[in-house]
Structure 1
Amino acid sequence: MEPKPTHDPALPTPAATVVMLRDGAQGLEVFMIRRNEKSSVHGGAYVFPGGKVDPGDDAYRDGMQLDQPPADLHRALADPALDEAAAVSLYIAAVRETFEECGVLLAHRRGSLSVEDVYDGTSRGLPFGEVLQILDLTVSTQSLLPWSRWITPATSFTSVRRFDTRFFVVSARAGQEAQHDDFEAVDSVWTTPRGALEKYWRGDITMVPPQIMTLAHLARHGHAESVFAEARAKGPYVVRPLPFEEEGLKAIAYPGDPKHSQTVPVMPGPSRLVWQDGRLLPADGFDALFA
């Protein structure tokens, strides 16, 4: 069944997504979770951990210990319209969502640290930011490298809500096992980017366009350090998808596509995805994801 377009005139909600990487036996691997079917956002889809900036991310921002000055975080996001405070909140949201959705803590302190200490604090109802302050933790912002920025269009047939999402790439943490929380996420997997795309192509799993295109980009790298080197060298790119309908087919155009106002591509992969066989696919076949 074809998706129905929705229109949301509201400003997109700030959000953060974390693309966790490691080197596996078959090369670069990425961690993905499967959203609970009951989730109001991308229910049942395989995604990277992440979510919207919460009020608590702002409330505890000023007292947070960071391993970089706020000015450096602001500079790394490469968005002149963003102030330093909002930049810090995005990093805190990325750290919080990574902990909540897959149990990995992107923070450190001198001496021993047990992730269970953080679980204990949050399970007692304390805000994540307050727990970090109580435990005297420093947020590992240096480990989070901005990769891309995806802005949901006002009219969309893949999301009922608008988000302005910053994607960060990060290395898997030594001594911490990433796993789904069995609440917001009901399954998780380490997979090669190509392996995830093959499953999507066969119809074994569902995904949404930012994940599809990000995986297509990551598939060009053989190991994690190669991804981090690109992130450091190029900085984050901005993607404003353009949904359209042509000859009875729904599609999404990206920068570089003839339909898009931005004529220069900002990322590798196909310039459009077309709705066919119940999902969004490159019109020129599977190999177009890697061309």
Structure 2
Amino acid sequence: MALTINSDTVLTAPVPSATVMVVRDAPQGLEVLLVRRHGNSGVLGGVHVFPGGKLDAADHQVDPSALDRSPGDCAAGLNEPGLDHGTALGLHVAALRETFEESGLLLGQVHRVDLAQRVRELTAAGTAFATALQQLGCAVSTASVWPWSRWVTPRVPSVTNKRFDTRFFVAAAPFGQEAEHCAFEATEAVWLAPRRALERYWAGEIDLAPPQIMSLCQLGHLRTAADVMTTARSRPPALIEPEPFDVDGVRVICYPGDPAHSVAQRVWSGPTRLAYRNQRFEADGGLAALLA
């Protein structure tokens, strides 16, 4: 299913959101979890994405005794001047909650056969996710997710009519837990090597949005889940503010370091722009450029 290119200006502020690139070590190497959103979804329907969603009010309201880190530590990891500690904590909790809601994985939790089911029962009855964990004797493991990048949708979004301020986190898949997609929001949960996901995208087997494409390019340089987590902890998360423009009817999205971008310094190796051709976003140089 081809993405629809938007040309309308969105006047509302970006919605604070969190998404998580859950990684694991497989016999053939590093894999990352992708879920395919329902085709009738209002945002990126039919597209394979990392688990994630918007920040909820309840994500801020966490008993301090349930935390493994302070809100100040969460804010320090995000490295955003002016970000209040409560929002920083909420973004970490949203990352944990959305991963559970969309894949069934409880990040940072020791596997218990009944734990996921008990959390589902409590949240279905109206208990906040973090409160449910606390009631079940589990810490809210903000340390299990680590900031990777921050993506801010421009005023003219390319693949949706909404704006998001999304913090991308990375997390190691919890041992002994199986990923299962949420039947209400997704139709598939699949583990793929980052390079294999890009190859499947290029072959037309799956759809990806630009943030996923560019993030998979970066993960493709790493070999293990430990490498991913070490890389995330070794530097502040990159700020990505895409700048789109049209050339002869073709939508181009450029990123920091591109000659057409207002920020001259690169934040990653590899392509600095994508162009919407052949009903998909392509880098100059094709698949080889994405895999380089």
Shorter-chain TM band: over 0.9
Confirm or deny that 1:275 pairs with 2:276: yes
| One-letter code aligned to 2:158 | F
How has the CA–CA distance of structure 1 residues 107 and 120 changed in structure 2, closer, same or farther, with 3 Å as cutoff?
A: farther
Tell me the CA shift for residue 62 of structure 1.
Answer: 4.5
How has the CA–CA distance of structure 1 residues 165 and 4 changed in structure 2, closer, same or farther, with 3 Å as cutoff?
A: closer
* Post-superposition CA distance 1:117-154 (Å, at most 9, x none): 11121222333233223223211111111100000001
**Matches of 2:283 and 2:106 in 1, distance apart?**
36
Query: Any conservation in 1 of the 2:134–2:140 contact (CA below 8 Å)?
Result: no
Query: Any conservation in 2 of the 1:144–1:169 contact (CA below 8 Å)?
Result: yes
Query: Any conservation in 2 of the 1:106–1:139 contact (CA below 8 Å)?
Result: no
**Matches of 1:202 and 1:117 in 2, distance apart?**
41
Confirm or deny that 1:6 pairs with 2:8: yes
Matches within 5 A, 1:1-291: 3-58=5-60, 60-63=61-64, 65-108=66-109, 114-291=115-292
How has the CA–CA distance of structure 1 residues 225 and 108 changed in structure 2, closer, same or farther, with 3 Å as cutoff?
A: closer
How has the CA–CA distance of structure 1 residues 36 and 276 changed in structure 2, closer, same or farther, with 3 Å as cutoff?
A: same
* Post-superposition CA distance 1:204-247 (Å, at most 9, x none): 11110100000000000111111111111112111000111123
SS at match of 2:195: helix
SS at match of 2:53: strand
**Matches of 1:289 and 1:157 in 2, distance apart?**
20
Q: Please report the RMSD computed on the Cα atoms of aligned residues, expressed in angstroms.
A: 1.9
Tell me the CA shift for residue 6 of structure 1.
Answer: 2.3
Tell me the CA shift for residue 250 of structure 1.
Answer: 1.2
**Matches of 2:109 and 2:226 in 1, distance apart?**
22
Larger CA deviation: 277-286 vs 132-141: 132-141
| One-letter code aligned to 2:84 | D
Larger CA deviation: 115-124 vs 74-83: 115-124
Tell me the CA shift for residue 199 of structure 1.
Answer: 0.9
* Post-superposition CA distance 1:28-78 (Å, at most 9, x none): 1000000011111111000000000012212x2355611111111110000
Tell me the CA shift for residue 107 of structure 1.
Answer: 4.8
Tell me the CA shift for residue 91 of structure 1.
Answer: 0.6
| One-letter code aligned to 2:258 | D
**Matches of 2:65 and 2:155 in 1, distance apart?**
34
Query: Any conservation in 1 of the 2:6–2:160 contact (CA below 8 Å)?
Result: no
Query: Any conservation in 1 of the 2:252–2:276 contact (CA below 8 Å)?
Result: yes
**Matches of 2:179 and 2:290 in 1, distance apart?**
27
How has the CA–CA distance of structure 1 residues 53 and 194 changed in structure 2, closer, same or farther, with 3 Å as cutoff?
A: same
Structure 2 unmatched runs, 5+: none
Tell me the CA shift for residue 290 of structure 1.
Answer: 3.0
SS at match of 1:243: strand
**TM-score normalised by structure 2 residue count:** 0.94
Structure 1 unmatched runs, 5+: none
Query: Any conservation in 1 of the 2:107–2:173 contact (CA below 8 Å)?
Result: no
Tell me the CA shift for residue 268 of structure 1.
Answer: 2.2
| One-letter code aligned to 1:290 | L
| One-letter code aligned to 1:76 | G
Tell me the CA shift for residue 108 of structure 1.
Answer: 4.2
* Post-superposition CA distance 1:173-230 (Å, at most 9, x none): 0111111011101111000001110111111111101000000000001111111111
Query: Any conservation in 2 of the 1:180–1:188 contact (CA below 8 Å)?
Result: yes
**Matches of 1:258 and 1:96 in 2, distance apart?**
38
**TM-score normalised by structure 1 residue count:** 0.94
SS at match of 1:6: coil
Task: Work out the number of aligned pairs and report it.
Answer: 290
Query: Any conservation in 2 of the 1:63–1:133 contact (CA below 8 Å)?
Result: no
